[in-house]
């Protein structure tokens, strides 16, 4: 065991440093997303979705840095990553709509002026709808009309179409000062 530790001492130290650094970066990113969520009064389930995206990003960076630490050359890494990204690129091209909705979901997290409980009107030539925002998911919004109809509206379209605020959620500010 001692021989193993002395043989791979540099690699183990570098790996430990990378893991600690990435854990600190992950903590900072999650704290920042949490602060943005609280400041913008964003539902915590949406904030947890951002946590998942942060975890995936940190995991990819960790895999890359640890591969370098353990002696995988840049040429081998470039072959692996280009092959993986080529396969992912072909697969994602086939499902570009899902990517578009995920990206839109991230944009909505940081800059969507409407919150859960607000009543909005979407001005779309195919669908003119007035509804209350029931939930904001990674791919779509759940909208509830006054008649009780549930409409699932894609995130990418909510960013492309004009939206009017009809009524602000009147219960949003209740209890805000309690914390």
73-123 pLDDT, tens digit each: 778 878 887 888 788 777 767 677 777 888 888 888 788 788 888 899 999
d(CA 58, CA 48): 15
pLDDT value of position 170:
62
Domain boundaries, the chain: 2-94, 114-169
Please give the structure tokens belonging to residue 18. Answer: 């990378």
Q: What is the mean pLDDT of residues 142-161?
A: 91
Confidence of residue 144 (pLDDT cuts 50, 70, 90): very high
Percentage with pLDDT > 90 across the chain = 25
Where is pLDDT greater, at 150 or 168?
Answer: 150
Distance CA 44, CA 66 (A): 32
- Find the mean pLDDT for residues 144-165: 91
Which of 65, 69, 47 shows the shortest CA–CA distance to 57?
65
DSSP label at 117?
T
Cα distances (angstroms) measured from residue 152 to each of 96, 104, 112, 144? 18, 15, 17, 9
| pLDDT of 177 higher than 50 | no
With contact defined as beta carbons under 8 Å apart, do 105 and 155 qualify?
yes
Residue of 42, 74, 46, 81 whose CA lies nearest to 60: 81
For tokens 């002395």, the residue is 6
Domain 114-169: CATH architecture, name and number where available: Roll (2.30)
pLDDT digits (tens, 9 = 90+) for 8-41: 888 889 999 999 999 999 999 999 988 988 888 7
Q: List strand residue ranges (DSSP E) for the chain, in order.
A: 119-123, 128-136, 140-145, 150-154, 163-167
Please give the average per-residue pLDDT across 70-75, as a whole number. 80
């Amino acid at each position: 065991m001692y021989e193993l530790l002395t043989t791979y001492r540099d690699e183990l130290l570098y790996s430990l440093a990378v893991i600690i650094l990435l854990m600190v970066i992950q903590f900072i990113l999650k704290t920042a997303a949490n602060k943005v969520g609280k400041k913008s009064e964003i539902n915590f389930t949406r904030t947890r979705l951002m946590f998942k995206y942060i975890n995936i990003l940190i995991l990819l960076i960790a895999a890359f840095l640890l591969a370098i630490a353990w002696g995988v050359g840049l040429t081998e890494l470039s072959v692996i990553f280009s092959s993986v990204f080529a396969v992912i690129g072909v697969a994602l091209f086939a499902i570009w709509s899902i990517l578009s909705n995920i990206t839109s979901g991230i944009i909505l997290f940081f800059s969507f002026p409407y919150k859960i409980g607000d009543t909005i009107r979407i001005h779309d030539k195919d669908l003119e709808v007035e509804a209350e925002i029931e939930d904001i998911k990674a791919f779509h919004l759940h909208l509830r009309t006054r008649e009780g109809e549930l409409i699932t509206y894609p995130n990418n379209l909510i960013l492309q179409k004009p939206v009017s605020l009809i009524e602000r959620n009147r219960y949003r500010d209740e209890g805000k000062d309690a914390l």
